[in-house]
Amino acid sequence: MGTLSQRVRIAVVGCGAIAREAHLPVLLAEPTVAVTALCDRDRTRAALTAREFGVAETAIVTDVADLAGRADAA
């Protein structure tokens, strides 16, 4: 697995069922990707998703405007 600077930094916008059941499992299994942010209007849902998938709580935002500088793509 490459270092964070060598991986594409991805933010996941929306922490609903499709993110939990499809997007996050695939993204987290890909060695060229680093999930660097989770964005959801519902902070509690984002926090639960972060814990479930081992994403740092500091990576949670509730407004897409706060993703600037945190990810290369969303």
Checking if the pLDDT of 4 tops 80, the result is no
Which pLDDT score, from 0 to 100, does residue 54 have? 95
> Which strands, in side-by-side order, build the sheet including 60-61?
8-13, 33-39, 60-61
- Residue 68 gets the label, from left (phi > 0), alpha (psi -120 to 50) or beta, of beta
Please state the pTM of the whole predicted model.
0.89
Which pLDDT score, from 0 to 100, does residue 74 have? 95
Alpha helices in the chain (DSSP H): 17-18, 24-29, 43-53
